[in-house]
Structure 1
Amino acid sequence: MTPERFTPELLALGWTDDLQEALNGALDAADPQDRPDLHPARVAGVGRSSLRLWAADGEHDALLTGAMRQDPDTQPVMGDWVIAQTLPDTPKRRVTALLPRRTTFARAVNGGLGRQVITANVDTVLIVTAPDQDFDLPRLGRYVAAVQASGAQPALILNKTDLTPDPQRYLTELGALAPDAPLHAVNARTGAGLGGVRALLRPGLTAALIGSSGVGKSTLTNALLGREAAQTGGLMAEGLGRHTTTARTLYRVPGGGLLVDNPGLRDIAVWDPEGVAADPARIEEIAADCRFRKCTHTGEPGCAVQRAVARGEISAGQVQAYQARRAPARRGAGRPRR
């Protein structure tokens, strides 16, 4: 252990004992002459061939080694911790290694056989929706499953509560998706209900916002930061918000914590290594006991598949991988079984 690595700056960025142990191992394996020039840093911005890093001594631009650029499993993403080497005669640094990820938020690609990592080392993912045409319970269920498969904790946020006279109806449906997850009704534009959301942002922890375009993620980001950091759009026809976030951005939250604002996700196919080898026949056997004939296995009452997930008989990722191999999910519940 090298206590000097536990600086207040690194701790504020989410530095942990596990990361320190991994760093120590990497330094032990490095050339002794290089060790003084190797330092941990967190990825705060991702370009095509360069990164923006936050480190104990400030912000730095960094280049990737050729091997890291070619291997998608070692390409750093927003939120990753890396080892960066200082270079002579240039302010830029070179990323030499990727430190182990505590959580990995990813989506399935290529029919569920591959994955695209979106963010890493996130503690809580705020799933944002609104009581308008965006409110799609099956899709929100897939968001929840993706967060759970990542290792992070989901939190459900109903924004724009002024759009409905009965927000409780929406909250009840959201709560059924993840009964143990924090659930908050807010109006980011006026600040109503934000106290509970702010409580989720604590020193050393990282939160991320996900949701489809126009649900008010940028407005919520600005409200949580207390400043106009993220660009917001006006309203389109029928009260729908405009999409404004086009790249992932990492922010420092006043009072401690970090916040990632993600571009809008139209939908997500859940990546879970266990789900790749899921037995469709097993899930279909369980689904035969669902209350609804066309159950989507996301938030309907009487869903036998979700009961099996809660009991640990199958994983949420297995269910989502199974659904990804079927026809596109039907919206809403079907008729009760007779």
Structure 2
Amino acid sequence: MNGPELNLSEIGWTPEFEQAAQEVRLGAPGLTLLPGRVAGVGRNTATLWTQGGAQESVFAGTLRQADVTPVVGDWVLAEPVPDAPLRVHAVLPRRTQLARAVQSGMQLLSANVDVVLVMTAPDGDIDEARLSRYLEAVRAGGARAALLLNKVDLTRKPEAVLAQLRALDPAVPVLPLRAKEGEGVAGVRALIGPGETAALIGSSGMGKSTLTNALLGREAAQTGEVGATREGRHTTTARTLYRLPGGGVLVDNPGLRDIEVWREDAAAGFEDIEALAADCRFRKCTHGSEPGCAVVRAVARGQISEERVEAYRAAQGFATGRPKAKRRK
């Protein structure tokens, strides 16, 4: 047992999780099962934040047999074992998840996240299609999103870049900041309510670790030096959970070059595009360069944005690349 005792509600424990835990305990008479939040994951081990502090744990055989692997942010129930690590028996149902599609299916990045902070910068990282996929992935997992424009001083037209980001989704807040100088950090902190969990994602070198340190008020995450190109260097190599001063939790993720959206129903949230696709010439149209594509025609008319179609195509698993449509003048 390491560190001081924790108030579980400050790191995301809710009455809903307590109810789920009680149901698991009813099915496991004779076992003493304590809640813990996963702060780090190994092959068959995990570091848990429990009421007694940070503790190491191993996965029970029944958990491995069920092919259930906890991820950072999960809430689990673990059994205390004398003179041994805790034994994790169950993963509680996830409220939200941040996931991406990979060749083998779905890869979970983190669980039970309330707000995902998508960080970009005006030094060559502004890729509207990719940022749209980030936002779609956040929505698909049930969390809310925010866009952070770091290193805002690198552009001579910050308002134009901010307007470009706001156009991706008017419902998503867009915040300018200079994390290294501390400018705008208070606005980011205001997005994370008491007991809430935030995840920080984006390409490498955008300043995620610098923002993490600014939010924590201490040097906890390693930051890389800025090179001659004025780009930061990738430093975070594993997902790390941090407790925020005043309550709340932050997940600092390694840099992602891109993200492919995972959906149980790949068409969910794109009903407008599905309706347009019914008029495509080909039944298996990918809405890229096929002739007679109703979706590409809609893009040309300005009826729907190229970025939204690109996000839909990524969710469907089609090769990326914007529909080749010429807008009408």
TM-score range, shorter chain: 0.7 to 0.9
**Residue 290 (structure 1) aligns with:** 298
**Residue 53 (structure 1) aligns with:** 48
Q: Which amino acid aligns with 1:78?
A: V
Structure 1 runs not aligned, ≥5 long: 1-6, 294-300, 310-315
Alpha carbons of 1:179 and 1:330: their partners in 2 closer, same or farther (altered >3 Å)? same
Q: Which amino acid aligns with 1:14?
A: G
Q: Which amino acid aligns with 2:73?
A: G
**Residue 126 (structure 1) aligns with:** 117
Q: Is the CA contact (8 Å cut-off) linking 1:39 and 1:83 kept in structure 2?
A: yes
**Residue 251 (structure 2) aligns with:** 260
> Deviation of residue 240 (structure 1)?
1.5
**Residue 213 (structure 2) aligns with:** 222
Alpha carbons of 1:204 and 1:193: their partners in 2 closer, same or farther (altered >3 Å)? same
Alpha carbons of 1:161 and 1:70: their partners in 2 closer, same or farther (altered >3 Å)? farther
Percent identity between the two aligned chains: 50
Q: Is the CA contact (8 Å cut-off) linking 1:79 and 1:121 kept in structure 2?
A: yes
Supply the distance in 1 between the matched residues of 2:294 and 2:235 (Cα, whole angstroms): 42
Q: Which amino acid aligns with 2:8?
A: L
Per the normalisation by structure 2, the TM-score is 0.86
Q: Supply the RMSD in Å over aligned alpha carbons.
A: 2.6
Alpha carbons of 1:286 and 1:224: their partners in 2 closer, same or farther (altered >3 Å)? farther
| Mapped pair 1:234 → 2:232 | no
Supply the distance in 2 between the matched residues of 1:89 and 1:213 (Cα, whole angstroms): 41
Q: Is the CA contact (8 Å cut-off) linking 1:106 and 1:270 kept in structure 2?
A: yes
Q: Deviations over 1:278-336 (max 9, x none)?
A: 9694484652343449xxxxxxx6526888x9xxxxxx9855322x32x33249x8631
> Deviation of residue 163 (structure 1)?
0.7
| Mapped pair 1:328 → 2:320 | yes
Q: Which moved more, 1:170-179 or 1:61-70?
A: 61-70
Supply the distance in 1 between the matched residues of 2:117 and 2:27 (Cα, whole angstroms): 38
**Residue 80 (structure 1) aligns with:** 74
Q: Which amino acid aligns with 2:52?
A: D
> Deviation of residue 337 (structure 1)?
3.9
Supply the distance in 1 between the matched residues of 2:299 and 2:311 (Cα, whole angstroms): 22
Q: Secondary structure at the match of 2:38?
A: strand
Q: State how many pairs are aligned.
A: 308
Alpha carbons of 1:71 and 1:213: their partners in 2 closer, same or farther (altered >3 Å)? farther
**Residue 273 (structure 1) aligns with:** 264
Give matches, 1:200-219, under 5 Å. 200-219=191-210
Alpha carbons of 1:302 and 1:179: their partners in 2 closer, same or farther (altered >3 Å)? same
Q: Which amino acid aligns with 1:163?
A: L
Q: Which amino acid aligns with 2:91?
A: L
Supply the distance in 2 between the matched residues of 1:192 and 1:292 (Cα, whole angstroms): 40
Per the normalisation by structure 1, the TM-score is 0.84
